[in-house]
Chain A
Amino acid sequence: MENTEVSSNHKTFVYDKIAVFFKHTDYHGFVHPYNFLEWMSYTREAYFSKVCEDFRAILDSPVKMMTAKVDFTNYDDAIFGDPIEAKLTIAKIKKVSFDVIIRFLNGRTKKMICETRHTLVFVDSITNGFTAIPKGLYQAVIEYQEN
């Protein structure tokens, strides 16, 4: 299930199709942090597909979206069977880049497990130079920008 929460300042995209299976756990039975990077991808792609009507057209255009930086911090653990909820917001929207913040919450413990932040930049694959965020995407992400 994907849905959008609205606070007084901005929208938050919620992705709750994540659950912990054995393959996600480490030697001690905790979720290995690597999985959050994969789930980060799932969440942002589900988000773009939902909020940006022409996302598929953007993918087919020469404009490429590249991850320039990733930062994630672990706070708590998750174990097999835990439902995970990912909450996505946007920050630092500039001409050619913006940051995506995803906070993962453990549905069982109600605690935040992990916070990730990554910077996306837009590049014209023909000229190899930076290019402006595509209009449709820009209009979509601005509503999700944290103050």
Chain B
Amino acid sequence: MTRILVVDDEELIIKSFPAVLRREGYEVVATQSSLEALKKVEQEHFDLIITDIRMPDLNGIDMLSRIREILNRNGRAQIPEICVTGYAEDWVVNKAKELHVADYLEKPFDVSYFLGRIKRVLNANRMEYFAYSQNVFIYKYVVMLTDTDQFKHMSFANYLKLMFLATDALLTPVINPAFLMTYRLKVKNSRMQFKKQSAPGDVILVKVNASEVNVSNFSLLYTFLVEGSAELVGLGRQSYELLDLKTNVTETIPEQMRNVLLPIRVEESNLVYKY
């Protein structure tokens, strides 16, 4: 069973988070003390740590650094971390980024959003197939025999499919049944240029950035690279608009979706590879 350590000094959080997580089938250990959390990590196995930042005895950032040291010292694998905070001071965000924590959430958020983010981090840890890193979302894909055609390369349609897969992975925290009851995310335009062929066994990294995040539409930019060689395989671009499912009229992108897009938004002129 997936074991999650929750660290937060607020009594309300330390009761509510575990209740929600247990309902989803996770095993949860909760503590209000970051020093106590260090002991727990030393003695027990966890698949994920969810921690508050501002805590009285040792703040969340310092606690995570200490936990990493403990794991390193004992030759144990690192545990993915999600930081949760009720305030968004720059130093907190920057510190979390410096530490490359798996995810960072600002309160308040709704339960489905919270669970979506957790699921994504846990999946990323298991399959290593997507992660946030330095303002880019990375989706990893191993080219399979079923992707290739008689020319022994991955067919172009599969590259385009990869764009859709990467987009779905990016939006996992937002795309849930509640969202889908209200909204429809429609692809308006999709483009791709191919630079190099790829063969079975190649590991493709799809780096996703957002651009033109407007009121009801946004564009995603995709850079396809071969892992290891960093050779450019192709470049893609898709534009999306959000529609009201009932009226088919454009809708304002909800805050949750904006929160996924804005951390990876770039000026296209700053990208190494431009479409």
Q: Which residue of A lies closest to B190 (CB)?
A: A72
Specify the main secondary structure of chain A where it touches its partner: strand
- State whether A28 and B245 are in contact (beta carbons under 8 Å apart), knowing that A37-B161, A41-B155 are contacts in the complex: yes
Stretch from B10-18, B27-35, B179-187, B225-233 at the A interface: B179-187
Chain B residues with Cβ below 8 Å from A37 are 156-157, 160-161
| Contact A34 B164, beta carbon cutoff 8 Å | yes
Q: Which residue of A lies closest to B237 (CB)?
A: A71
Q: Does residue B188 face the partner (Cβ distance < 8 Å to A)?
A: yes
Q: Does residue B256 face the partner (Cβ distance < 8 Å to A)?
A: no
| Contact B187 A70, beta carbon cutoff 8 Å | no
Chain A residues with Cβ below 8 Å from B187 are 33, 74
| Contact B193 A28, beta carbon cutoff 8 Å | no
Which residue among A37, A66, A67, A118 has the maximum number of chain B CB atoms within 10 Å of its CB? A37
| Contact B157 A73, beta carbon cutoff 8 Å | no
Q: Which of these, B157, B188, B192, contacts A69 with CB under 8 Å? A: B192
A58-83 CB mask vs B (1 if < 8 Å, else 0) is 01000010111111111000000000
- State whether A33 and B194 are in contact (beta carbons under 8 Å apart), knowing that A38-B157, A67-B156 are contacts in the complex: no
Q: Does residue B151 face the partner (Cβ distance < 8 Å to A)?
A: yes
Total number of residue pairs linking A and B with CB closer than 8 Å? 53
Chain B interface residue count, CB cutoff 8 Å, equals 21
In the bound complex, how far is the Cα of B233 from the Cα of A104, in angstroms?
A: 28
In the bound complex, how far is the Cα of B188 from the Cα of A33, in angstroms?
A: 9
- State whether A28 and B160 are in contact (beta carbons under 8 Å apart), knowing that A68-B194, A69-B194, A72-B189 are contacts in the complex: no
| Contact A27 B190, beta carbon cutoff 8 Å | no
23 contacts between A and B (CB under 8 A): A28-B245, A33-B187, A33-B190, A34-B157, A34-B161, A34-B164, A37-B160, A37-B161, A64-B151, A68-B193, A68-B194, A69-B191, A69-B192, A69-B194, A70-B160, A70-B192, A71-B192, A72-B190, A72-B191, A73-B188, A73-B189, A74-B187, A74-B188
